Structure 1
Amino acid sequence: MAEQRTLILGGARSGKSIAAERLLAAEPEVLYVATGGDGSSDPEWAERIAKHRARRPATWGLAETIDLVPLLDSDGPPLLIDCLTLWLSRTMDALDIWSDLSRAGLVEHEIAQLAEAWSRTSRMVVAVSNDVGSGVVPADAGTRLFRDQMGRLNTTISLRSTTALWTIAGRTLPLT
């Protein structure tokens, strides 16, 4: 299998996940890496998860985790990481960044670790991520920090990818 690292960017509900699934549809096995949690405490989120699961082939595996580095460093079937936005949010939760924004350096370290693993992986990998930087500047410091870190994460992963795509209204365009 040729080395292939693809990042699919776009706005909310733009068709990113469907585009990622299409890219990997011909693969007999894929490990779907869900970074958003299981939805057990949020019925609307659980419904979204159910729709995603219903679209995927039965042969695809599932890992619900934000611990992406070990997956990228191991051998196995292609990975579909959905999504880096939720990875960042949950990583910031785990590092308790929201209550102490001065701890932002901790998340920058996690981004660097993820980027290094992304660069060295021998697996085919497709990651989905939201572009949150095209809107207004958020009013509060925590949301600005998240938006800024999301931009750094997307830029870092994009520049280490073999392919970067932009999805809007269900259409996917290459970024060169």
Structure 2
Amino acid sequence: MAEQRTLILGGARSGKSVAAERRLRSEPGVLYVATGGDGESDPEWAQRIARHRARRPASWALAETIDLVPLLDSAGPPMLIDCLTLWLSRTMDTLDLWSDLGRAELVEQEIDQLAEAWSRTTRVVVAVSNDVGSGVVPADAGTRLFRDLMGRLNTAVSLRSDLVLWTIAGRTLPLT
């Protein structure tokens, strides 16, 4: 793999995670960073997690966290972040943004810190993220804010990436 920082974008269930796993499959050791939580309170989510785990090589390590900056700043094996969309959602939860939408600047600071760490990492890293901005404008302010922050996050990471890919219906295309 020649690219150090790769971002894979696409819609829900488009094949982004499979494309990311495929890019790192030949690496002897990979740190898979799951940002979506453990699924203990949601059986359907737990099934999704189990399917992802079953696909990955047994040699890959796992970190379940949204604390990405220290991982990006540390030396180590290639890293797959799945996914930035869940990172944003959980970051908004952690900062209690849903109850006070006027505090969006706190999330924007987190986005800036993540993007800067992405740009300076010495690891080979592949991140997956949803493109949620191509649909209908959401009716409520919280969902609109999430969509807008997701677009800002994807743009910030994309502009600092060596390669950006778009996945649709299981097909992956380079964006230039």
In the superposition, the TM-score normalised over structure 2's length comes to: 0.99
Aligned CA-pair RMSD: 0.9
Structure 1 stretches of 4+ moved >6 Å: none
Provide the TM-score with structure 1 as the length reference. 0.99
Q: CA deviation at 1:49?
A: 0.1
Which position in structure 2 is the counterpart of 1:99? Answer: 99
The alignment partner of 1:75 has SS state of: coil
In the alignment, the residues of structure 2 paired with residue 3 and residue 26 of structure 1 have an alpha-carbon distance, to the nearest angstrom, of 14
Is the counterpart of residue 164 in structure 1 residue 152 in structure 2?
A: no
- What residue in structure 2 maps to residue 11 of structure 1? 11
| Distance of 2:51 and 2:115 partners within structure 1 | 29
Q: C-alpha offsets along residues 55-107 of structure 1, whole Å, 9 cap, x if unaligned?
A: 00000000000000000000000000000000000000000000000000000
Tell me the residue number matched to 2:88.
Answer: 88
Kindly state the Cα deviation for residue 3 of structure 1 after the two structures are TM-superposed. Answer: 5.9
Query: Does 2:42 match 1:42?
Result: yes
1:149 matched to 2:149? The reply is yes
Q: Distance in 1 between matches of 2:118 and 2:107?
A: 16
Taking the TM superposition and a 5 Å limit, the aligned residue runs for 1:9-158 are: 9-158=9-158
Percent sequence identity is 85
Give ranges in structure 1 of 5+ residues lacking alignment.
Answer: none
Q: Which runs of 5+ in 2 are unaligned?
A: none
Query: For residues 2 and 167 of structure 1, do their structure 2 counterparts lie closer, same or farther at Cα, with a shift above 3 Å needed?
Result: closer
Counterpart of 1:6 in structure 2: which amino acid? T
Count of equivalent residues: 176
CA contact (8 A) 1:35 1:65 kept: yes
